[in-house]
Structure 1
């Protein structure tokens, strides 16, 4: 584990590293990391928003929103997880290990969110302690990452088109699981404006399925 992530409460750390699949096989091993993931997601959204607001005083709301999406999307959080060595520490069940769970961006990003939440709680909810950990990681993201991902952020681009051409209200996504294994589920998303379906897409998680639906909707507009 990265040297700056030192825990007083080892139980919090272990819970952050524990995937649901591990708990199925080791039911006496504490808790899985999904509740911590929820808190970590909220913390990262706040810290990334604040970071970008301070770093780019010349950028408007739309561009800051795009950059925040790039900074805390699944792949980028998975990159952060690899940087702090989570792939070597995450506790997975045998099935998830066989399916390459320690390199799965979804599992890694979720574990990273959980780790941030656990660290926050371990430091008595001191946001400054978390900021000291996360800002160097944010600083390590190349500028081209924002440019590339902003250019392909399908959900934002479709929302902009909808609000410019149809209604001020953002599109809605109806996303449901349609199969796959418990370690590699598949989701189907439909993007709607009012009651009309504009696009559909599939993905290994809700976020990817919704992105695919937005890309499908944009393709239909051409």
Structure 2
């Protein structure tokens, strides 16, 4: 059993209540190459569209037909009228260039940022939080966990799993299958502020676990 999710390299996390799946989330794994190609296509299309807008802005500034001329000759001296026409044309071209160029550059920056984000496989870095709060990803009764407890969170090494005392079940981490109790008994990374009741470890492709959050099996999480 491995956690490949619906796409190879994706981390699928499910909240199970009395053997019924209540909620399901799919998160990309860091460096797994599991980024949706459609997302890349959208980002690349955005970059191309922004580049076109910039080119159109340059074209408009340099070659766009002049705006309507001022009143016909005779209203003012001819040399004054001609100078006013040229000044009006230059001003109109500059306004168009700055407006379209600004829109294009903003779009280009946003599209490039999005492409950089999805190619890193970090399209969704939301923590998998558990608890009675309305904003928890997986809603459960009060299980004695800290408020906003994140079973899985995004860290510098990718997704990090945190388990605590009172939980039980089985996990396979780094190719080794073990009971949750054995995992907690080992030394390792402890979340900040923990007095030893919790232990955290990065999740790698192929890792999986079935964790009973309440020790009774009513509320479980599978990843």
TM-score normalised by the chain length of structure 2? 0.25
Please state which structure has a larger fraction of its residues in strand.
Answer: 2
Please state which structure has a larger fraction of its residues in helix.
Answer: 1
The structure having more radius of gyration, on CA atoms, is 2
- Highest RCO, 1 vs 2 (Cα 8 Å, sep ≥ 6): 2
TM-score normalised by the chain length of structure 1? 0.25
